[in-house]
Structure 1
């Protein structure tokens, strides 16, 4: 992995955070795809049997940021900390997953635990690789809690219905077109 000037990585992180805030406000994550190289990969683990992987900017746009983030409009993912490794050209950002719905006590529905993204910089203001990590069990428990409370949005209900089938980008562990550690 090549080294990059720290200033370039810091600038990329600022562009990324600004784009995230804009996408959150619009409820459309697909424009983030412009910040990936043409051949980038983006994946995450889905539990003990499955993983998600999108290969290429357009699959990242359509599947990872379109279908997979579909129903999460109104949710925010505020970054809490960013770590930059300029020698390896990598960045790790830790974020929260916060729904726009509120509990009866006024507190937001939020996935407990730590979520994050690990990026590899590809130069030219684009990521070449991203891997997300979050507690799938905690996320599932929160979705069930919201379902029982009747606070899931229509988009989120459609998303949950879609998950009953094998959506695009979902693979059995070890069968994705790129490995989580590639």
Structure 2
């Protein structure tokens, strides 16, 4: 679920200073949690804090407990909910399409699963507002990493919305047994007929860059573009 990190407006003009993170909790019973994972882009957090301070924000700025999420950040999932069994099956198809793309290099079949007017929020690369924009982006961004894998650690279904923890893992170079992966919390909205109308990938781009840097230093090779 989303937890919005909101700072009160020091200007009194209604300006928003906030960023979302998503949180995954494991309940262990007796009022205790055994795991918490928070997923967000630290660059967003830093930018928000800097902007807030520049606008006059201080410890003395009065709290505003009426603040909620930023309107328009993500669309609401389609209604009514499709059968859970259908959503489960289509998420498995989503996962398999990723495997096919890795095995064949064909990311077009992966992009085909989105509606024509689908939106995709990627916390580093930006916001895409159609299947075509998603297709153009994914074909470019995945070219350097043809062997990246996407195992699913967790998934949660609520209505037509799925929240899944999907590590992005690069294979260890020959002779190396290190782990080269970073966690991504993926949010999907199912629109029926095997199509998704929204995806959001929440992660730390800085962590991703650090992992890729270690992988290259260990012998990982980025293929040259054709």
TM range (shorter): 0.7 to 0.9
Q: Report the Cα distance in structure 2 between the residues aligned to 1:31 and 1:103, rounded to whole angstroms.
A: 30
Q: Number of matched residues?
A: 147
The higher relative CO (CA closer than 8 Å, separation ≥ 6) is in 1
| Cross-structure match for 1:69 | 142
Residues 121-132 of structure 1: pairs in structure 2 closer than 5 A: 121-132=190-201
- Contact 1:27–1:74, Cα closer than 8 Å, also in 2: no
Q: CA deviation at 1:110?
A: 2.1
TM-score using structure 1 length? 0.72
| Cross-structure match for 2:180 | 109
Residues 76-155 of structure 1: pairs in structure 2 closer than 5 A: 76-86=149-159, 89-102=160-173, 104-111=175-182, 114-155=183-224
- 1:151-176 per-residue CA deviation (whole Å, 9 max, x = no partner) reads 23224xx6xxxxxxxxxxxxxxxxxx
- Rg larger for: 2
SS at 2:112's partner residue?
A: helix
- 1:128-167 per-residue CA deviation (whole Å, 9 max, x = no partner) reads 0100012212111112223334423224xx6xxxxxxxxx
| Cross-structure match for 2:127 | 53
TM-score using structure 2 length? 0.59
**Where is the helix percentage greater, Structure 1 or Structure 2?**
1
- Contact 1:120–1:130, Cα closer than 8 Å, also in 2: yes
Q: Report the Cα distance in structure 2 between the residues aligned to 1:106 and 1:78, rounded to whole angstroms.
A: 18
